[in-house]
């Protein structure tokens, strides 16, 4: 058995994002120099039904009542941490759009490069590069929240987020991201 201090140091070295104090993460988001990549809130199931149609929420996996409540609470958490408004971008999937709207942080702009490629992994590389290029061209003057899917966040950051989890990243001039840490919201 690993002694507690050695176990903690192992986690910090292996997963440095876990070692960042949450107050530091909120400060970074308030500054506009970092971006919140957020997985949509709780939507039971995996992927989407075979009959999925982008413009028809009735054909998609959607937020549960718990997911709607989680979205509102996450928005409240942003406000408690000094972020009352943000540039909010979302995947066009209904569960992401609803999550983004329920945060109540500002007008939600659909951004197709945040759409899931869960059923079309051949799009992963090109779509992730498009997002990196978009990030490189974006100037960090105010907080930004991007609501998307697990596969997109993992491809961009290497982090496998849970529903509603926020991955705080900073972009470099080339649009690549460095993970500062994560904020659990469950």
Which CATH number belongs to the domain containing residue 71 in this structure? 3.40.50.1240
pLDDT confidence of residue 7:
37
CA distances from 122 to 96, 125, 134 (A): 22, 7, 20
Task: Tell me the per-residue pLDDT of 4-60, one tens digit each, with 9 for 90 and over.
Answer: 433 333 333 344 444 578 999 999 999 888 999 999 999 988 877 778 888 888 888
> 158: domain range?
16-183
Let me know if residue 151 belongs to a domain.
yes
Buried b (16+ CB within 10 A) or exposed e, 16-33: ebeebeeeebbebbbebe
Q: State mean pLDDT over 116-133.
A: 83
Query: Regarding predicted confidence, which is higher, 52 or 105?
Result: 105
pTM of the model: 0.86
pLDDT confidence of residue 1:
41
Rounded percentage of the chain residues whose pLDDT exceeds 90: 57
Q: Return the ∠ at Cα 128 (arms to 172 and 144), rounded to 5°.
A: 55
Let me know if residue 9 belongs to a domain.
no
Let me know if residue 37 belongs to a domain.
yes
3-state secondary structure the chain: CCCHHHHHHHHHHHCHHHHCCHHHHHHHHHHCCCEEEEECCCCCCCCCCCCCECCEHHHCCCCCHHHHHHHHHHHHHHHHCCCCCCEEEECCCHHHHHHHHHHCCCCEEECHHHCCCCCCHHHHHHHHHHHHHHHHHCCCCCCEEEEECHHHHHHHHCCCCCCCCEEEEEECCCCCEEEEEEECCC
- The total of structural domains in the chain comes to 1
Let me know if residue 147 belongs to a domain.
yes
Strands 177-183 and 35-39: unpaired
If pLDDT is split at 50, 70 and 90, which confidence band does 118 have? confident
pLDDT confidence of residue 186:
80
Let me know if residue 11 belongs to a domain.
no
């Amino acid at each position: 058995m690993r002694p507690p201090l050695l176990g903690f140091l192992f986690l910090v070295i292996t997963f440095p994002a876990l070692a960042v104090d949450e107050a530091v993460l909120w400060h970074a988001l308030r500054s506009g120099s970092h971006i919140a990549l957020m997985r949509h809130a709780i939507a039971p199931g995996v992927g989407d039904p075979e009959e999925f149609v982008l413009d028809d929420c009735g054909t998609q996996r959607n937020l549960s009542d718990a997911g709607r409540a989680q979205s509102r609470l996450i928005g409240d958490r942003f406000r408690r941490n000094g972020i009352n408004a943000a540039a909010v971008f979302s995947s066009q999937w209904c569960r992401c759009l609803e999550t983004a709207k329920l945060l109540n942080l500002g007008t939600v702009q659909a951004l197709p490069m945040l759409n899931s490629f869960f059923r079309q992994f051949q799009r992963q590389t090109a779509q992730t590069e498009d997002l990196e290029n978009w990030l490189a061209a974006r100037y960090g003057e105010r907080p930004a929240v991007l609501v998307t899917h697990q596969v997109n966040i993992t491809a961009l950051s290497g982090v496998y987020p849970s529903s509603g989890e926020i991955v705080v990243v900073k972009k470099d001039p080339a649009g690549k991201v460095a993970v500062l840490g994560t904020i659990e919201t469950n």
